[in-house]
Amino acid sequence: MDLPEALADDPLHQPTRARLFALLVELRRPAATDELAGKLHLHPNGVRVHLERLLEAGLIVRSQAPRPRGRPRDEWSLAPEAAPGGAPPRAYGDLARWLARAIPPRPARLRDVERAGREIGRELAPSGAASLDTALRNALTGLGFQPLLERGPSGRLSCRLRNCPYRDSVRENQEVVCTLHRGITRGLLDVLEPRASLAGFVPHDPDLAGCEIDIDGLVAAGEGAPA
């Protein structure tokens, strides 16, 4: 389940409650107060207060688990009718990971994936930008890559991506996801600068980021290109 951006009056606007709800989403099973507190490194008494607030909001339910001795303990899980942010649940992150897992990285399939990515890139290409540098930076920023662009003396445009917004899917199938992204990059260039060519596309560990993109076929510095 993907958590929406919480509004000021939403119970999930409070950071600890948002963390508790996200943890229950991740666990996908009932969990006791002490377990939740331990995973978040918080005191059980304070966690219990936040759980009660989530219960009042209809986001979680409480059940009681018997123990060999003493009173049954409270356990907490997601409410079947939970609507975080006031909307029905969505799980695009899970879907993306599962789709990545479902596509085998065979050569023919990878060609199909890159072809689809190229079509997507053409659709995503912004219009009206002053330069390729600006347009590519805006497009990659909008996708969540935190790009850093530099021009070389020969006119080569080098881009280092400081974040991988697809990291969960890349862990499932890096070859497929990065092939899709390479296709998207080619599609962006098709629209933004048809004379340009993708000279390099080097993926890295998605948790460390730093993927590299090199683009050739541009005007060299001093000949009208942005520095």
* 1 in any annotated domain: no
Show the domain range for 61.
11-86
The overall pTM is greater than 0.85: no
Task: Look at residue 225 in the predicted model and tell me its pLDDT.
Answer: 43
- DSSP E strands in 66-186: the ranges are 73-78, 147-151, 157-161
164, 172 contact by CB (below 8 A):
no
Q: How far apart are CA 2 and CA 96, in angstroms?
A: 12
DSSP-based three-state secondary structure for 46: helix
* 92 in any annotated domain: no
For the chain, the domain total comes to 2
Residue 79 and residue 27 in one domain: yes
Residue 181 and residue 150 in one domain: yes
Residue 108 and residue 174 in one domain: yes
- What tokens does 87 get? 């909307």
pLDDT in tens, 171-186: 999 999 999 999 999 9
pLDDT in tens, 67-126: 888 788 899 998 888 877 766 666 677 788 889 999 999 999 999 999 999 999 999 998
* 26 in any annotated domain: yes
Question: For position 199, which CATH number holds?
Answer: 3.30.1380.20
- Region 179-206 average pLDDT: 95
Residue 65 and residue 159 in one domain: no
* 147 in any annotated domain: yes
* 4 in any annotated domain: no
Q: How far apart are CA 34 and CA 57, in angstroms?
A: 21
Query: Among the residues of 150-220, which ranges form H helices?
Result: 167-172, 174-192
Torsion, CA 78, CA 1, CA 175, CA 158, rounded to 10: -130
Q: How far apart are CA 38 and CA 47, in angstroms?
A: 10
